[in-house]
Amino acid sequence: MSTAKDAGARASAAAGSVTSAFGHRLLGLPGTHLGAVRVPKPIGGPWHYWWQAHYLDCLLDAAEREGNNDDGAAHRTRARRLLRTIRLRNGGRWTNAYYDDMAWLSLAALRSADLARNRPLTKLTRVLASAHSPDLGGGLFWNTSRDFKNTPATGPTALYFALIGRQEEAQRMVDWLFDRLLDPRTGLLFDGLRMRSQELVTDIYTYNQGPVLGALLSLGGERNVDRAEALIGAVSQSLVQSGGALRTHGGGGDGGLFTGILVRYLALAAASPLLSETSRSTARTLITATADALWEGRGELGLDRRRRRTVLVFPEAPYPHAGTGAAELSTQLQAWMVFEAAYRVSESADAEAASGR
């Protein structure tokens, strides 16, 4: 395992590359900040609300790592501006048509509630609660069409509700996931269940496991801890590739974020006193192996030929060297998340070694 100093240097490099390459003002407006979808930046481009929520999480990770120095202050300023600009770019609304998107923003906004006067949490909490219905036995709808209930919406909402003190509702969401969407063969969670046909959608994605793991640990209790340990074991058995790193979902787009999200919650597991040392060690190993693979695959992307300005870029699956032509925000946020998680587990390991434990 790398030292906290080394892991912190990687995280700092990723933070600097993403903020300098992708960060920009909305329509040039002072005091605004958003992440571009890709660089070199196209004119216009799609709006990815939930990518911005994870960008906010990454900025807050970096601010915590840097503390009260100038870099930490800069990240907090960007986070404050980003939260405000998400609403502005979203037509003056906190909500959209996808409950999973809103759950991710709720989790990030909960961490940053002290950064903004206009807090989205009351509105988002009410909308998320409205998507949790008894249809199909429970769980959350994916979007406002209300024809599909799935793990992507139910998992992060369960975690959010657990964190804000609505444990009974969070527990019902978690129980529904394990009752209706657990794959008995792998021990991982399937994607979802369609309303009309009750068809089980059996795709398995890395990110679906992460927030469920976080919810289990936030809720606590013997049954949830047992489920968390089993889930970590299932991830280590079914979601790794040669070399021990977690597999990623190639092709960029939304899938470019998926494995980073899982790693965020594996870092929570690696530090949890509720878990056995075996489970904590497994989580640490998955994080550090993935971080090492992403770092080894790094490349450079030129942003300005005249000034010869370049930034680091990090690869997609299956960890080839990163290309030099263009990069997407999703894949770069994924790498940044992984490096921040690796820093947290390395820092804990260094502290334990220093204390003689």
pLDDT confidence tier of residue 323, bands split at 50, 70 and 90: low
DSSP string, 69-138: SHHHHHHHHHHHHHHHHHHHHTTT-S--SBHHHHHHHHHHHHHTGGG-SS--HHHHHHHHHHTB-SGGGS
- Could you state, in order of their start, the residue ranges of all structural domains in the chain? 4-355
Structure confidence at residue 115 (pLDDT): 56
Average pLDDT, the chain: 92
Structure confidence at residue 242 (pLDDT): 87
Structure confidence at residue 163 (pLDDT): 95
The string over 210-226, giving b where at least 16 C-beta atoms fall within 10 Å of a residue's C-beta and e elsewhere, is bbbbbbbbbbeeeebbe
CA angle, residues 323, 327, 331, in degrees to nearest 5: 100
pLDDT confidence tier of residue 354, bands split at 50, 70 and 90: low
Stretch 269-277: mean pLDDT: 97
pLDDT at 279 > cutoff 70:
yes
pLDDT at 86 > cutoff 80:
yes
pLDDT at 111 > cutoff 60:
yes
pLDDT at 355 > cutoff 70:
no
Neighbours of 352 (CB within 10 A): 10
CATH number listed for the domain at residues 4-355: 1.50.10.20
pLDDT at 264 > cutoff 90:
yes
Structure confidence at residue 1 (pLDDT): 62
Q: pTM of the predicted model, to two decimals?
A: 0.95
pLDDT confidence tier of residue 140, bands split at 50, 70 and 90: very high
pLDDT confidence tier of residue 56, bands split at 50, 70 and 90: very high
Stretch 285-305: mean pLDDT: 90
Structure confidence at residue 118 (pLDDT): 46
Mean pLDDT check: name the lowest of 121-130, 149-158, 314-323, 333-342.
Answer: 314-323
Collapsed DSSP state (helix, strand, coil) of residue 141: strand
Structure confidence at residue 321 (pLDDT): 63
The torsion angle over the Cα atoms of residues 278, 178, 50 and 232, rounded to 10 degrees, is 10
Structure confidence at residue 349 (pLDDT): 77
Kindly give the pairing relationship between strand 327-328 and strand 309-313. Answer: unpaired
Mean pLDDT check: name the lowest of 96-110, 271-285, 318-332, 337-351.
Answer: 318-332
Kindly give the pairing relationship between strand 148-150 and strand 327-328. Answer: unpaired
Locate 170 and state its tokens.
Answer: 């969070």
Mean pLDDT check: name the lowest of 26-40, 69-83, 165-179, 306-320.
Answer: 306-320
Distance CA 338, CA 5 (A): 15
Mean pLDDT check: name the lowest of 23-27, 64-68, 323-327.
Answer: 323-327
Neighbours of 49 (CB within 10 A): 18
pLDDT, one tens digit per residue, over 181-227 is 999 999 999 999 999 999 999 999 999 999 999 999 999 999 999 99
